[in-house]
Chain A
Amino acid sequence: MLDVRASVIAVSYIVAAVLFIFGLKQLSSPGTARAGNRLAAIGMALALAATLLDRQIVSFWTIAIGTLIGAIVGIYFGRTVQMTAMPQMVALFNGMGGGTAALVSVAEFLRLSRIGDPIGVGEATSIVLGTAIGAISFTGSIIAFGKLQEILPGKPLQFPLQRLVNALILLAVIALGVMVVMSGGTATLWALFAAALLLGAMFVLPIGGGDMPVVISILNSLTGLAAALTGFVLHNQMLVVAGVLVGASGTLLTLLMSTAMNRSVGNVLFGAFGATSSDAGATASAVGHTVRQTTPEDTAIALAYARSVVIVPGYGLAVAEAQHTVRELATDLEKRGVDVKYAIHPVAGRMPGHMNVLLAEANVPYDQLLEMDQVNGQFPQTDVVLVVGANDVVNPAARDDPSSPIYGMPILDVDRARNIIVLKRSMGHGFAGIDNALFYHEKTRMLFGDARQSLTQVGQALKSA
């Protein structure tokens, strides 16, 4: 028979697991999503409170002070981060979780080694995998954060023999892992920890900023898996259930995203995307098409006298924090009787749904947001397409040019609209690092500058148009 404390813990864990499952279910629908998140938070509070009853815990000071510091840091950054910087925030928190899983695995191994208990193969394997996966997720997420925050260059970082070096580090991680399982040794486990930290960084560095959504999603599911593995190490079913729920849902999300980009996950991770693209870029500009510039005033007139306008937001909108400005412009156009819609590419921005979140922040109504499949048939009847800081997702080469590195990726067919106005900071390349024939198209006009400033100027010009 279980004693009372153990029973309370067990029942709390079961209730928490059910709350997590219902929370995830509700997160899947716009109306209930917020309640779902709160349900999951209640489940978390219950599980953590119940854990404090565990007899294994004899000292509460470390837990109390650590939780306080972590909570202050988490809540502070969680509340103050700009909505536009959210992807990197998720990456950072994800890295924290991965680091926790790795440290817990290492600490448990040290404890078991010191007591001198024989460590079973199952336990040792869980410890090795928990340490390695957690450490990879930790440094991988930090590099992803650095790339999105533009501390590190977003372009793929490559150097000679990179794949060979990475393969050797991977082999070292595997070899060290096997050694720990076969013969133990705390020094070996520390070496494994270090090698896995290095591997995580090296594996994300060569991936371009445009693929970061997929990478963060992979790292998210890896952290879930690492959490589940610590559940095996600590004989704690709560960790197993919650960790696997995240691992499974994160994997599904990764597959959905890769499908949207028409690339396999393997291609994202090992594609060496930037290498081939510079050639394609060179040929496209070598054709010698010229770029036609326009002014805010001309843009305002084109928009004011259009019947239908489709706005295509991209990462540039997020960087310039232009979501409110674009919404104001759209409202002014609607007052003039212009039909305004937004075309959302599934991977526009840096995370799936990134654009939806930003536009929702600016109060753009749901029914104005059209997904790729809905909107693509409408472009030939659209008078003006306003591309705000999007690039690769409107590149016709993905549809027409088999030699392009992004060939096959579904795009928004904006080149089929009657007029195209592209708001862009400069003629720089998108995150895929390739040139875009759309910018040289005879129907295209370029409006250079910061998206928010440009849109503000267009808005002012519109008032007098």
Chain B
Amino acid sequence: MSQELVLGIYVFIMAIFVGFEVISRVPSVLHTPLMSGTNAIHGIVVLGAFLVAGSADTPLLHALGFIAVVFGAANVFGGFVVTDRMLEMFKKREAPPAEKKNA
């Protein structure tokens, strides 16, 4: 095994512990926003799509990279926006909100 792979596995295992430790005490009220927030964070994979798309040198790789960037960017931007909208509702306000019903 290469030194780099071993290091990667260390990082992997440490991050598991951090992930468990950091969110182990979450009130159930926040479960949905938390799922949505972590959903946005795994959009980091768009970074991999950047590397693929930016170094593509065949039409096929360009196409794959492009689709990957679109999907990943939708994951990141959509994820953070939806989470923010959910959490916006948790802050205390006085005035009742305007009805948002425009199906």
Contacts and interface: CB of A to CB of B under 8 A. Distances in A.
Given A37-B87, A74-B77, A324 B99 contact: yes
A34 B90 contact: yes
B71 A25 contact: no
Contact of B72 (A60, A87, A97, A253): A97
Contacts of A81: 82
* Consensus secondary structure, chain A interface: helix
A51 B69 contact: no
Given A59-B56, A247-B16, A324-B99, A122 B2 contact: yes
Contacts of B32: 86-87, 90, 351-354, 356-357
B87 to A, nearest CB: 4
A44 B76 contact: yes
Nearest to A224: B42
A40 B31 contact: no
B18 to A, nearest CB: 6
Contacts of A363: 93, 96-97
B49 A100 contact: yes
Interface string B17-60: 11110111111111111111111111111111111111110101
B87 A352 contact: no
Nearest to A369: B29
Given A70-B74, A239-B45, A107 B69 contact: no
B1, B32, B36, B77: most-surrounded residue (chain A CB, <10 A): B32
A82 B102 CA distance: 9
A24 B69 CA distance: 24
A20 to B, nearest CB: 6
B22 A25 contact: yes
Contacts of A89: 78, 82
Nearest to B20: A248
B54 A74 contact: no
A33 B37 CA distance: 10
A165 interface: no
A346 interface: yes
A20 B76 CA distance: 13
Given A236-B51, A241-B15, A247-B16, A62 B69 contact: yes
A99 interface: yes
A119 interface: no
B89 A352 contact: no
A82 B48 CA distance: 31
A38 interface: yes
A240 B55 CA distance: 21
Interface stretch (A225-233, A266-274, A289-297): A225-233
A257 B24 CA distance: 13
Contact of B38 (A235, A238, A250, A366): A250
A246 interface: yes
Contact of B50 (A57, A69, A90): A57
Interface in A17-45: 20-21, 23-25, 27-30, 33-34, 36-38, 40-41, 44
Nearest to A13: B47
Nearest to A327: B96
A59 B54 contact: yes
A230 B48 contact: yes
Most chain A Cβ neighbours within 10 Å, of B11, B30, B31, B60: B31
Nearest to A35: B87
A227 B45 contact: yes
Given A30-B29, A250-B38, A357-B33, 9 more contacts: A36-B37, A68-B73, A78-B78, A82-B103, A235-B4, A244-B19, A247-B16, A353-B29, A356-B29
